Structure 1
């Protein structure tokens, strides 16, 4: 059995590493390792304790990078590894698995092991990046392998194991296997991140509190700790560069190691839990159970005879209006009654909040509600099995512009109430920032969907970008939520609009190239 689990996990891992998205994932890990050890004079930092940081030696660089990995890989890694079961079901591999004697717990264990291998490879890349960054920052170039790698083993790897298990659990639950689960995971991650940094939380999931206690003890011993000092983990902008102090690392106490081991054990239990309801693609179990009518049919119906195409009156003129109407109709059908009720409530909130809270509260709330509708841009036709038919359309740019315009309408509708409030108060800079954000959101969603052919990238990227803007990180504020003297402190609206144009141009170029390749294959 163990040999079957290992073989299935290794094969699944090899299939994933051959995909271009895996190379992008490793590149993202390198970028994260670079951000975790910023330039000593930088004001964008990931870890800050009372305006200080440790000297860039192996202990501090390893700990800072491992904590960044535990925080951000838990978010992004979830979207990277989920989809393994869905892919087996979509490609027909699941039916082959159902015909084998492999039991459900063994199948789940193999998928979990494959997820862990993918995330573990990202942790390994981060560890190598940490060593390079320590040498590059040149504050202490003496690399201690034990001090550098220990934080990755006891902090980052347990979180990778927990994330791999959570992704598998979400895939086996019908309610969470789609876009709702993708969007919901962001809030689960946010609760875990905030709870781990709170002293009132019952369990230190990230392991950050143990590190904070060690940092605080060193600062107290050196007379650097102040009563109102605080700790932050995540990309933040500080008013001035952090000061440094020597730090020897955190102690490996029995309580701390026991907590990390308990996290791994809990993850293993989560992996085996879906065996109670997951049918392993067996038609006799779960959602693939045949209906009585299908069971009574002895075989396939006879193929209908071809009688020619029906006579159809030609339609002349510009088709953009009909394409746009069709895209809007599809979006309206996908939005449930509950979605419309939520949009109406947010519109009331946008009209009722004080004028000073419109940009900081009402607009961000309005522009996070349609995230699942946006994420379907660029992916809807493939998931509906219409990619071949749509690929034969003679004017792909016209269809894409219609889809983008429909996404723009979904952006404008919930943001209309905050815009009216800004117009009533004469907030011209806020209105300009609103326009830039309204152009960027559908462009980002369409580009992410066209490039990856899956909604998961946007569902992972946009909530993180939105949270940074909502949390006051001005360099990433695309909607004007962060204010400095009443004026948006983020990028200029023209820069945001230019980025939207670049993304839309990239989308059109990608579609044109794919259309030419499709035409060549047909020829």
Structure 2
């Protein structure tokens, strides 16, 4: 909610702020209800599709992890009813955020003072035609990706990010309203026609309107826009997306396994007994030899790093190992110019490993068990070193090729990125005890930086080179992560001390217990 209110302020800059978020060929509309109502519909749906999906996508998996799935499975609720209720509850959360943002834009209209008349229809018609169908489709995706086999983890996150990029491009550049999920094309086309009527240097036929951060000098020319004519053709395209959302929910209900638990290899059948309590069938039980426990007076960091490495790569599928091996071979064989063009794809392979750093023990509820075995900082640094080693191992083919070509500047830049990303993952995972924040921020940073080569966002530093910035950020993130460890250690000790004092009996209680 705090971020939503901040966006309501930041997306409506004053004329003297020196930047614009949405304007057409150097001009923008007056901040009236029509302009701001259209902006809140476009921008909020795009942002909620990205951040809202990662925030609410794993609610069904959370029911299973918290052992609520067995209770739900034993009730008479049907699969379709459970999945649709999950999707609708996510939709309600999205709509609450959307309504808060609408109210914030109304307040910003009064604060900017360019038009003090609040037209409720101008705010709620884009909400009805754009936001509600789009957010219904998003809610359906949150449950589909949570029950579809293979899409619960990092693979699903990457796939949804690709879908978001595709729909954003289609909504901006495609004139067909059927693909205009975010309502951008319908709104900006009408805005461009109105702007062309006021300014001769703008053509009504060209695609106008840009969303982003645009520094400007002086005051931006403005014009008055009277809103989109929400006709039956636009309504038909919106109804198609609503039907698509309902179809996705129906598909998710068919894929839902109702929290069925697969049998583990440790399942042992009990021997069958007859009426005389004698064993009829005796099945030999498999014996499992566990490794012996060795007591050591000091903690060895090398052994912790080795254990973390084994845990990180454990559970990866055969295809993941095959892709990593193939990327190493390709990095050694292809020319240097082609390697640089596809380097960003290589930085997606370890995403599933990075995202579990700092939060795995909280996810599996083994935090107290691990902290009783070694100090918190030893655990922190062992995870950090293991994450860096995995990154360097996966990109070893690239590093060897750079070394053979004598490109030591590229080796330095790649090493900086290999240290920065695991540090970012570990700090965010430790701070939030979840993998969601890192995954969404990293995908956004990866798309804007290495893929589109936006200055200061390319953490790989190839070919632009901002290594000094990311070295500094790495040390800052590492310091924040260590500080979090110290704060939690202090809170843990303080909580244990308070519990001891509360449970300690008073003198009278102690004598009373002795008498009893």
**Which among 140, 144, 160 is matched to residue 169 of structure 1?**
144
Shift of 1:176: 1.6
The answer to whether structure 1 residue 91 and structure 2 residue 66 are counterparts is yes
Does 1:383 pair with 2:366?
no
> 2: CA distance between counterparts of 1:163 and 1:147?
24
The counterpart of 1:401, out of the listed 381, 384, 387, is: 381
Residue 67 (structure 1) shift: 0.8
For each residue in 1:220-265, what CA deviation from the matched residue of structure 2 results, as whole angstroms up to 9, or x when unmatched? 2222424996546553556768654332222211111222232223
Q: What is the Cα deviation at residue 320 of structure 1?
A: 0.7
User: For residues 169 and 516 of structure 1, what CA distance do their matches in structure 2 show?
Assistant: 43
1:40-439 pair list within 5 angstroms: 40=15, 46-199=21-174, 202-222=178-198, 223-226=200-203, 230-231=207-208, 234-237=211-214, 243-281=221-259, 286-287=260-261, 313-347=294-328, 361-416=341-396, 428=409, 433-439=413-419
Aligned to 1:5: none
Question: What is the distance in 1 between the residues matched to 2:272 and 2:432?
Answer: 41
3-state secondary structure, aligned to 1:47: strand
Confirm or deny that 1:451 pairs with 2:450.
Answer: no
Cα displacement (A) at 1:127: 1.0
Alignment check: 8 A CA contact 2:129 2:235 kept: yes
What is the root-mean-square deviation of aligned Cα atoms in Å? Answer: 3.6
Greater CA drift, 393-402 or 361-370: 361-370
Aligned residue in 2 for 1:36 = 11
Given that 1:474 and 1:482 are in contact with CA atoms closer than 8 Å, whether structure 2 keeps it comes out as no
Counterpart CA distance in 2 for 1:449 and 1:169 is 25
Q: Distance in 2 between matches of 1:145 and 1:200?
A: 28
- Alpha-carbon distance in structure 2 between the residues aligned to 1:50 and 1:427: 43
TM-score, normalised to structure 1, is 0.79
Cα distance in 2 between the residues matched to 1:418 and 1:292: 42
- Contact 2:429–2:435, Cα closer than 8 Å, also in 1: yes
Among candidates 501, 504, 523, match of residue 478 of structure 2: 501
Point out the more displaced range, 214-223 or 119-128: 214-223
- Note the alpha carbon deviations across 1:340-360, whole angstroms, 9 max, x for none: 33334444665677767766x
Using the alignment, how far apart are the partners of 1:392 and 1:221 within structure 2? 72
In 2, distance between residues paired with 1:503 and 1:363? 29
CA–CA distance in structure 2, aligned partners of residues 147 and 51 of structure 1:
24
- Number of residue pairs matched by the alignment: 479
Alpha-carbon deviation of 1:365? 2.3
Distance 1:438 1:228, change over 3 A: farther
Deviation at 1:290, TM superposition (A): 9.8
Aligned residue in 2 for 1:304: none
2:452 matched to 1:471?
A: yes
Take 2:339 and 2:420, find their aligned partners in 1: how far apart are those partners? 20
Q: Report the Cα distance in structure 2 between the residues aligned to 1:57 and 1:294, rounded to whole angstroms.
A: 70
Which position in structure 1 is the counterpart of 2:511? none
The SS at the match of 1:72 is helix
Q: 1:404 to 1:265 in 2, by over 3 A?
A: same
Quickly say closer, same or farther: Cα 1:47–1:471, change in 2 above 3 A. farther
1:63–1:500 Cα change, 3 Å? same
**3-state SS of 2:314 partner:** helix
- Measured in 2, the distance between the counterparts of 1:439 and 1:239 equals 36
Are 1:323 and 1:399, in contact at CA under 8 Å, matched by a contact in 2? yes
Q: Distance in 2 between matches of 1:437 and 1:86?
A: 32
* Equivalent of residue 442 in structure 2, options 451, 462, 469: 462
CA shift for structure 1 position 399 = 0.8
Quote the Cα distance in structure 2 between the aligned partners of 1:371 and 1:521. 40
- Does the C-alpha gap of structure 1 residues 198 and 391 become closer, same or farther in structure 2, counting only changes over 3 Å? same
CA distance in 1, matches of 2:431, 2:112: 35
Instruction: Indicate if the aligned counterparts of 1:443 and 1:503 stay in contact, CA closer than 8 A.
Output: no
Q: Is the 8 A contact 2:356 2:435 kept in 1?
A: yes
Instruction: Provide the C-alpha distance between the structure 2 equivalents of 1:102 and 1:482, rounded to a whole number of angstroms.
Output: 56
Mapped to 1, the partners of 2:222 and 2:463 lie a distance apart of 29
Unaligned runs of 5+ in 2: 274-290, 501-516
